[in-house]
Amino acid sequence: MITFNDSETAEELATRTRDLMEEVVLPVERELEGGMTVSEGTVSELREAAREYGVYAPQIPEEYGGLGHSFRDVLPAFEEAGRSLLGPLALRVSAPDEGNMHFLELQGTETQKEQYLRPLVAGDINSGFAMTEPLQGGGSDPKMLQTTAERDGDDWVIDGHKWWTTQGVEADVLLVFARTDQDAHPYEGSSVFIVPKDADGVEVVRNIPHLGSPVTGKGHAEIKFDGVRVPDEHLLGEEGEGFAHVQERLGPARLTHCMRFSGMADRALDVAKAYTSEREGFGSKIADKQAVRFDIAEHEMRLAAARSLVRTAAEEIAAGNQARVEVSMSKVFAANVVQDAIDTAVQLCGGNGMARDLPLADFYESVRQFRIVDGADEVHKRTIAREAFADVDESELDPITRFDA
């Protein structure tokens, strides 16, 4: 078993989370009928259990209801929580609330933290992050942002059209990304606003039908903002610094996504190993076939590499660096590693892999979106490639010219 350079605190937190998962969360998961959405009552019970195990909101400062652990130390616990779709809900570390809480912690005023961060941590309210827009708006290229916020006295008036706002239907409050200076480059002329979903002019058009498991009940909403008025006190962070603030949110959030999905892949491989160790075919256990064993070995290696890469990126962020390339590498590599591992697990379990008696079908539906959400593979590869070609050394061509003769 490969071990990582995790602190004693991180290991203890991960162990308690693993105990919660094995003793409470997974038994609840196994009681759910295929395709069934978990109830709010069950989520509340799971969160109470997480508090009893000492793992609830480990990433949030104690003064706002969390445990106050460092970002680097909570990552192994996030991975353990990811072993079930219910785990992140139990620990209060699921998207988008986890990222939004981090955003509010970093940039919120004390009034904003009391009004929104504290109840978010407690699970009394839910949130959405409204950034992506329909054609031809902001998406993979966020510079195409079309939503505007104009000053009117002491208020801001927001107009725009968003979609793929995760948990937008259930959200009580939305963090809305908008242009605040039409004459400036979007990098210097955009801001983020706290918008109560019940504000006049906010219209939830629909919950977009999409690929993904129904277990958690979280959808992706299409939302229109028509003359939505919010006070200046609802500006989150500095005016015109929206892009910088969003990057502060997205970097860590991408890594927590990687860890949650790594836990999902680890569980999928455990299921496949258990199944193939019992299932017989063509004269022996399926697990005794060399092809199966080599497939599992390949996924174990790649998953270990993904875990290591995420930790490296997290350490860069903890040191105060943006780590954009490290985060992009982690996101692309982990997303593809996890997708491949879960796909293999489904294949090895045959018909049982497709049935919702096992968690694999739900995992399979959930993991495909990971290569698109939080930045598509191609966007992150663009970031990596830009860095790779930044300092091309043309002297490396010299050996090639020797063969011109």
What is the per-residue pLDDT across 160-214, written as a single tens digit (0 to 9) for each? 999 999 999 999 999 999 999 999 998 999 999 999 999 999 999 999 999 888 7
What is the model's pLDDT at position 397?
Answer: 67
What is the model's pLDDT at position 405?
Answer: 47
Rounded Cα–Cα distance for residues 157 and 176 (Å): 12
For domain 243-388, give the CATH superfamily. Answer: Butyryl-CoA Dehydrogenase, subunit A, domain 3 (1.20.140.10)
Confidence class for position 398, pLDDT limits 50, 70, 90: low
Residue position matching structure tokens 């939302």: 223
Rounded Cα–Cα distance for residues 244 and 252 (Å): 13
Q: What is the mean pLDDT of residues 312-340?
A: 95
pLDDT tens-digit readout, 19-74:
999 999 999 999 987 767 899 999 999 999 999 999 999 999 999 999 999 999 99
How many alpha carbons fall within 13 Å on the CB side of residue 224? 6
Q: Is the pLDDT of residue 394 over 80?
A: no
Pick among 3.40.309.10, 3.65.10.10, 3.30.560.10, 2.40.110.10: CATH of 127-240: 2.40.110.10
Query: 8-94: which CATH topology?
Result: Butyryl-Coa Dehydrogenase, subunit A; domain 1 (1.10.540)
- Asked if 8-94 and 243-388 have one fold, the answer is no
Amino acid (1-letter code) at residue 76: P
**How far from 7 is each of 1, 90, 126, CA to CA, in Å?**
17, 23, 31
- Model pTM score: 0.92
Torsion over CA: 392, 393, 399, 400 (sign): positive
What is the model's pLDDT at position 159?
Answer: 98
Q: Where are the domains of the chain?
A: 8-94, 127-240, 243-388
201: left (phi over 0), alpha (psi -120 to 50) or beta: left
